[in-house]
Amino acid sequence: MTTDMQDESEIFRGTTTGSTRLRDARSVRGTPKAGMPAFVLGEELADIADTDPRIVVATADLASANRTNDFRDRHPDRFVNFSIAEKNMITAAAGMASTGLIPYVATFASFAAILGAEAIRTDCAYPKMKVRVLGSHSGMSMGFYGSSHHALEDLAMLRCMADLTVVCATDANHLRAILRASVEHPRAMYIRLGRGRDPVVYDTVPEIEFGRALRLREGTDLTLITCGSQVRASLDAAEALQQQGISVRVVDMFTIDEMDREEIRAAADDTGAILTVEEHNVTGGLGSAVADVLVDLPRIRFRKHGVPDKYVEVGPPAALYAHYKLDAAGITEVAKSFLEK
């Protein structure tokens, strides 16, 4: 048996020892319901719909998993379950939008972005329909469900589509901010969510503007540009690096298709080194988007950190994050190695 096969077997069986942690108390148990993005989705949309009759919500047999049933319970006449017909759901949402409604359609990211990519492009973005496609359980957070349910290519696939805004929610309060700002946004949107067990980054609902990053921590030696599930891990890594005398800036680059060029330029000028961190294939995602900006700037030290360009192993999410060095300890290790080189 090869080393790679042994590693994969251990992760699948949940018997990996050493640095790979199979559980993370912050993301597995003990997180309040209000702090789970998947659990505030339906509640927040219902609150918005209380005063806005244009809001409608649809899902594809996942009302419990993404908590759109909270919306259904309060606004049953504006909720539709399309069963397992995700592409039809997105196309129907475009039809709703053409009448002046603002539809929010939610399913797993693998089904929303990858299965539904053509419908998003042709039916929503191209005719400029105000559809909001919500992809939950993104990245490899589906763990044991495997590659068919992982969404590690969605940012790359969708950020190149014209007239489509692509954003990543970091935690519950950030999701609330995104949903509120999305109502009057003029373009179609893809909103990427985690698995609903994401640790808190924003203690209150932040003021946001699509296309403007949020600088969460100052630093002078290195900038971590990150998004979504990796923001909390990057902040924890920055704190660990601070204890070792390395000053790290952390930026939540939550809008992926319309990059905050000024924030990237500031990171390059102020710290001279940028490491992007994402729960996504290193090809085509956040790191590639940042590189597209850096190519026009004076050369600096730059590295992309994410999932290698391959289909990931099957296993519990916490083990996968550790295996690919996308937990705080792993990001700390990668950052130190990057700076030393």
pLDDT given for residue 58 in this prediction: 95
CATH for 3-24+211-340 is 3.40.50.920
Which among 141, 137, 105 has a CA at the least distance from the CA of 120?
105
Query: Average pLDDT by consecutive 10-residue portion of the chain (341 residues)?
Result: 38 39 43 66 96 96 85 95 93 97 96 95 97 95 88 96 97 96 97 88 96 98 97 98 97 96 97 98 97 94 96 90 96 97 82
**Euclidean distance between CA atoms 312 and 323, whole angstroms:** 10
Q: What pLDDT is stored for residue 38 in this prediction?
A: 65
Query: How far, in Å, CA of 322 to CA of 18, rounded?
Result: 11
Q: What are phi and psi of 301, to 5 degrees?
A: -75, 130
For residue 191, give the nearest of 98, 124, 144, 146 by alpha carbon.
Answer: 124
Name residue 224's beta-bridge partners: 250, 275
Q: What is the pTM of this model?
A: 0.89
In the three-class reduction of DSSP (H, G, I as helix; E, B as strand; rest coil), residue 17 is classed as coil
pLDDT of residue 32: 59
In whole angstroms, what is the distance from residue 102 CA to residue 129 CA?
9
85 alpha-carbon distance from chain centroid? 23
Task: Transcribe 99-163 into DSSP letters.
Answer: TT-EEEEEEEHIIIIIITHHHIIIIIITTT---EEEEES-BTTTGGG-TTT-BSSHHHHHHTSTT
104: alpha, beta or left? (left if phi > 0; alpha if psi -120 to 50): beta
Largest CA distance in the chain: 61
Task: Decide whether 3-24+211-340 matches 33-192 in CATH topology.
Answer: yes
* Topology of domain 33-192, CATH: Rossmann fold (3.40.50)
**CA–CA distance, 254 with 252 (Å, rounded to integer):** 6
From residue 60, alpha-carbon distances to 45, 117, 216 in Å are: 17, 16, 35
Helices and strands in the chain, H and E counts: 14, 11
Give the span between the Cα atoms of 332 and 92, in whole angstroms. 45
* Domain residue extents for the chain: 3-24+211-340, 33-192
133-166: burial string, b at 16+ Cβ within 10 Å, e else: bbbbbbbbbbbeeeeebbbbbbbbbbbebeebbb
Residue 208 has phi, psi (to 5 degrees) of -130, 160
Quote the distance between the C-alpha of residue 94 and its chain's center.
23
How high is the pLDDT of residue 295? 95
Please report the pLDDT score of residue 301 as a whole number: 96
C-alpha dihedral (197, 62, 193, 131), degrees to nearest 10: -160
pLDDT for the residue 36: 64
Per-residue pLDDT of 154-177, as tens digits, reads 999 999 999 999 999 999 999 999
Tell me how many degrees the CA angle 318-321-323 measures, rounded to the nearest 5. 105
